[in-house]
A and B are shown apart, each in its own frame.
Chain A
Amino acid sequence: ETGVTQTPRHLVMGMTNKKSLKCEQHLGHNAMYWYKQSAKKPLELMFVYSLEERVENNSVPSRFSPECPNSSHLFLHLHTLQPEDSALYLCASSQDYGPNTGELFFGEGSRLTVL
């Protein structure tokens, strides 16, 4: 069983749709992240949750709404997206979030296309 799993792996949606991305980690970690990866650009941090509390919100548009119901699950709710939101959305986890934050473990990503 892989450490961090993301579903769906691919998603095509119209600008008026509402969909959600799901991430689950089986590593017993306390911190989870959403990153956006667009072509030719660095990974952009969107949100960080530590012990189910949002600790970072990196000026992300409100059409992206995260949810962390427990330390193993992280969702990204999507609505009224724009074509420029098409990207690979990567979920990651780490043991903790703090001065000794170590390795990030990534899921395989959800590739989103907005028509």
Chain B
Amino acid sequence: RKEVEQDPGPFNVPEGATVAFNCTYSNSASQSFFWYRQDCRKEPKLLMSVYSSGNEDGRFTAQLNRASQYISLLIRDSKLSDSATYLCVMRFGGGSYIPTFGRGTSLIVHP
């Protein structure tokens, strides 16, 4: 089983829709969790960190479920500019600090 798994999509949604992605992980020692955004032919950029209590940044909400070993990203009121690939990233414990990436979930927001 891969360490970090994401549904590659694409998720094709109309403007204004609410869309959610999950990312599952297999290493229960995972310590830090992040969502990055990567636009087409661009580099990844941090979207938001994911905290144990859940956190919100405008239209974006990130949550962590340790019991079921997944993180989620919810996007409300989707905009055309939200079209991108969303990468989940986590850092495992046990002395390894390597940020490990999922393969990304592609989101396409259409008019």
Contact = CB atoms under 8 A, between A and B. Distances in A.
Interface string A12-53: 000000000000000000000101000011110100100000
A43 B102 CA distance: 7
Contacts of B8: 40
A43 B43 contact: no
Judged by DSSP, the binding face of B is strand
B30 to A, nearest CB: 13
B111 to A, nearest CB: 27
Interface in A44-76: 45, 48, 56, 58
A43 B101 contact: yes
A108 B42 contact: yes
Interface residue range, chain A:
20 to 34
Interface in A68-96: 90
B110 interface: no
Contact of A43 (B42, B44, B49): B44
Contacts of B101: 35, 42-43
Contacts of B34: 103
A41 B87 CA distance: 11
Contact of B104 (A42, A102, A103): A42
A101 B103 contact: no
Contacts of A101: 32, 91, 97, 99
A99 B42 CA distance: 28
A42 B103 contact: yes
A58 B98 CA distance: 10
Given A40-B8, A41-B103, A43-B87, A106 B98 contact: no
Nearest to B97: A101
Contacts of A99: 31, 97
B45 interface: yes
Closest 5 CB pairs of A and B: A106-B43, A43-B101, A42-B103, A42-B101, A103-B46
